[in-house]
A and B are shown apart, each in its own frame.
Chain A
Amino acid sequence: MLTTILRGALRQARRHPVYVGLDLLGLALGIGVFLSLALLVRYESSFNAGLPGVERLVRVDEHWTLAGIAPMEEADISFLALPFLRQDFPEIEDAARLLPSAFRTEQGGAFTKFDGYETDPSFFRVFGIALSRGVVDDALSRPDGLVLSEAAAMKAFGTRDILGRRVELNKAGVRSVHVVTGVMAPIHGPNLLARAEMIVPIPGEEARTRSCFLYWGSACGAIVLRLRTPEDIGAMRARLRDFVIRHASGADDDRVAIGPHPEKIYEMRLVPLRRLNFYDVGVVDSDDGVDRNVVNAIGLIGFLALVLACANTVNLATARAGLRAREVAVRKTLGATRRVLFVQFMGEALVVTAVAGIVGLVLCEILTPEIASLTGEGVTVSYGFVLAVLPVVVVVAGLASGFHPATILSGYRPAAVLAAARMPSGGRGAARLRNALVAGQFAIAIAIVICTLVIDRQTAFMRDADRGYSKSGLLIGQQVLGGDLEQERRMLDTLRAVPGVSAVGFGELEPAPHAMSRSDYKYAGPNGQVSIQMLFDRVGPGYFEVYRPRLLAGRWFDPERGQDEGPDADDLLKSKGSFNVVVNVKATTTLGFATPRQAIGQVLTADGLRARIIGVMDDMRFVSPREEVAPEIIFFDTLARVPFVDPIPAVRFQGVARAEMARRLDRAWASVRPELASNFQPADERMAELFVGDERRGHIFTVGAVVALLIACMGLYSLAAFSAIRRVHEIGIRKTLGASGGQITILLLRDFLRPVALACVLACPVAWVVMRGWLSGFEQRVPLSPLHFLVAVAAALLIAALTVLGQTVRVARAEPARALRAQ
Chain B
Amino acid sequence: MLIDLSHIQRLYRSDEVETTALLDIHLGIEAGEFVAIMGPSGCGKSTLLNILGTIDRPTSGSYSFGGQELTELGEAALAAFRRENLGYVFQSFNLIDELTIEENIELALIYRRMPKAERRHRVAHAMDHVGIAHRARHYPSQLSGGQQQRAAIARAIVGEPRLILADEPTGNLDTENGAQVMDILQRLNDEGATIVMVTHSPSHADLAKRRVDMLDGQVVISVRNAI
Contacts and interface: CB of A to CB of B under 8 A. Distances in A.
Contacts of A737: 82-83, 88, 107-108, 111, 155
Contacts of B112: 738
Contacts of B76: 740-742
Q: Which of A421, A732, A733, A739 has the most chain B CB atoms inside 10 A of its CB?
A: A733
B142 interface: no
Q: Which of B84, B107, B111, B112 has the most chain A CB atoms inside 10 A of its CB?
A: B111
B56 A815 contact: yes
24 contacts: A730-B96, A732-B55, A733-B95, A734-B96, A734-B107, A736-B53, A736-B82, A736-B88, A737-B82, A737-B88, A737-B111, A738-B80, A738-B82, A738-B83, A738-B86, A738-B108, A738-B112, A740-B111, A741-B75, A813-B75, A816-B55, A817-B50, A817-B55, A820-B90
Interface string A276-305: 000000000000000000000000000000
B126 to A, nearest CB: 13
Given A817-B55, A820-B90, A740 B96 contact: no
A641 interface: no
Interface in B32-87: 50, 53, 55-56, 75-76, 79-80, 82-84, 86
A740 B79 contact: yes
Nearest to A425: B97
A733 B108 contact: no
A820 B55 contact: yes
Nearest to A729: B94
Interface string A782-823: 000000000000000000000000000000010111001000
A739 B96 contact: no
A738 B111 contact: yes
A741 B86 CA distance: 18
B180 interface: no
Interface in B116-168: 155
A735 B79 contact: yes
A820 B75 contact: no
A741 B74 CA distance: 11
Interface in A715-753: 729-730, 732-743
B98 interface: yes
A428 interface: yes
B92 interface: yes
Contacts of B95: 733
Nearest to A813: B75
Interface string A310-325: 0000000000000000
A747 to B, nearest CB: 10
Contacts of A734: 96, 107, 111
Instruction: Identify the 9 closest CB pairs spanning chains A and B, nearest first.
Output: A738-B83, A816-B55, A817-B56, A740-B79, A738-B82, A817-B50, A817-B55, A738-B111, A737-B108
Nearest to B56: A817
A735 B53 CA distance: 11
A394 to B, nearest CB: 37
A593 B83 CA distance: 78
B74 to A, nearest CB: 10
A735 B78 CA distance: 10
B55 A736 contact: yes
Interface of B: 50, 53, 55-56, 75-76, 79-80, 82-84, 86, 88, 90, 92, 94-98, 107-108, 111-112, 155
Contacts of A738: 79-80, 82-84, 86, 108, 111-112
Given A735-B79, A741-B75, 9 more contacts: A734-B111, A736-B53, A737-B82, A737-B107, A737-B155, A738-B111, A740-B111, A816-B55, A820-B55
B79 A741 contact: yes
Contacts of A743: 111
Contacts of B55: 732, 735-736, 815-817, 820
A517 to B, nearest CB: 75
Nearest to B161: A738
Interface residues of A, number: 21
A813 B79 CA distance: 12
A818 to B, nearest CB: 8
B90 to A, nearest CB: 7
A137 B102 CA distance: 93
A733 B96 contact: yes
Q: Is the interface of A mostly helix, strand, loop or mixed?
A: helix
Given A421-B92, A815-B55, A820-B55, A740 B80 contact: yes
A738 B108 CA distance: 7
Interface in A739-771: 739-743
A650 B5 CA distance: 94
Contact of A739 (B79, B90, B94): B79
Contacts of B107: 734, 737
A79 to B, nearest CB: 78
Contacts of A730: 96-98
Nearest to A421: B92
Interface in A410-461: 421, 428
A669 B224 CA distance: 115
B49 to A, nearest CB: 9
Nearest to B152: A733
Nearest to A739: B111
B8 to A, nearest CB: 14
Nearest to B141: A427
Q: Which of A735, A815, A820 has the most chain B CB atoms inside 10 A of its CB?
A: A820
Given A735-B79, A740-B80, A815-B55, A820 B108 contact: no
Nearest to A734: B107
A732 B83 CA distance: 14
A552 B9 CA distance: 91
A733 B94 contact: yes
Contacts of B75: 740-741, 813
B92 to A, nearest CB: 7
Contacts of B98: 428, 730
Contacts of B84: 738
Nearest to B84: A738
A743 B112 CA distance: 11
Q: Which of B55, B84, B86 has the most chain A CB atoms inside 10 A of its CB?
A: B55
A730 B90 CA distance: 13
A820 B76 CA distance: 18
A419 to B, nearest CB: 13
Contacts of A820: 55, 90, 94
A737 B76 CA distance: 13
Contacts of B90: 820
Q: Which of A732, A736, A738 has the most chain B CB atoms inside 10 A of its CB?
A: A738
A407 B86 CA distance: 45
A45 B211 CA distance: 85
A468 to B, nearest CB: 62
Interface in A219-270: none
A421 B171 CA distance: 15
Contacts of B92: 421
Nearest to A815: B56
Interface string A15-38: 000000000000000000000000
Contacts of B56: 815-817
Contacts of B53: 736
A427 to B, nearest CB: 9
Contacts of B86: 738
A197 B94 CA distance: 79
Interface in A357-378: none
Q: Which of A737, A741, A743 has the most chain B CB atoms inside 10 A of its CB?
A: A737
A816 B56 CA distance: 7
A474 B55 CA distance: 75
B210 to A, nearest CB: 24
Nearest to A744: B79
A737 to B, nearest CB: 5
A732 B56 CA distance: 11
B150 to A, nearest CB: 17
Contacts of B83: 737-738
Nearest to A751: B98
A739 B76 CA distance: 9
B73 to A, nearest CB: 12
